[in-house]
Amino acid sequence: MMDFTSISDRGLVLLGCGKMGGAMLKGWLAKGLAPMSVSVVDPNPAPWLADTGVSVNGALPSDPAVIVVAVKPQMMAEAMPGQTGYGGGRTLFVSIAAGTRIATFEKMLGEGTPIVRAMPNTPAAIGRGITAIVGNAVASEAQVSLAEQLLAAVGQTVRLESEDQMDAVTAVSGSGPAYVFHLIETLAAAGEAEGLPAELALELARTTVAGAGALAMEAEEDPGQLRVNVTSPNGTTAAALEVLMDETRGFPALLKEAVHRAAERGRELGRQ
């Protein structure tokens, strides 16, 4: 059970309850957060919210402990004006809005507002995500720890040394699930090209990637050693890795360029 004392006393406001906001809410409730402590603000609330006991689009607490901003960046201008009155006080703002820098919130809410910026990823929807967080200068250790607890409801959390690392995090773990999904797609297509039925090729690819990921998490060896363990000299895996590990056209070059482009795009969005 998590320590939700401050939230129980003062309340939590969740702005946006889509896939990520909904996953977090379900995690909080499962870990013991009292439904009456939560106020959800969403223009199109999902039907399942009616069965949770949380307040939906009702009156908000006067001094909430936390406001979690889980709206899309393009909806920020519509969602945030109603919350500016909470700025500069005791309320902690936790944002999972991609590409929206802490400075943007400080302009809207005041520099005296405690803010934690977070970058989760889509496996959070099944409680297997990883979220990187960083607080501004005003956020206390207790507030950053509270944000960490809230985000731990959907997976692991890591703290960053500075916000400058967030674009690289976005490129690796935020966008990373899409890279893995594309690997599954292309691995299945390659299997089909070698004569496997499409459904069988997809099942083999999907289960192999999932199993390898689980092994990488649980094994004592690092991924490099796990790769060596699977690779017999002059065998089938070695033949494939000659292609995949090629420094000019294999994974090393492709992923380095892909992650760099994603990080650069994140920096561009942060300047807009």
Q: What are the binding residues for NADPH?
A: 57
- What's the count of helices (H) and strands (E) in the chain, helices before strands? 11, 8
Alpha carbons 167 and 270: distance in angstroms, whole number:
9
Where is the binding site, in residues? 15-20, 57, 70-73
Contact 70, 100 (CB under 8 A): no
Locate 36 and state its tokens: 């009456």
Which segments within the chain are labelled E, that is strand?
12-15, 38-41, 55-56, 66-69, 92-95, 115-119, 129-135, 155-159
Where is the binding site for NADP(+), in residues? 15-20, 70-73
CA-nearest of 239, 230, 21, 236 to 120 is 21
Alpha helices in 111-160 (DSSP H): 141-151
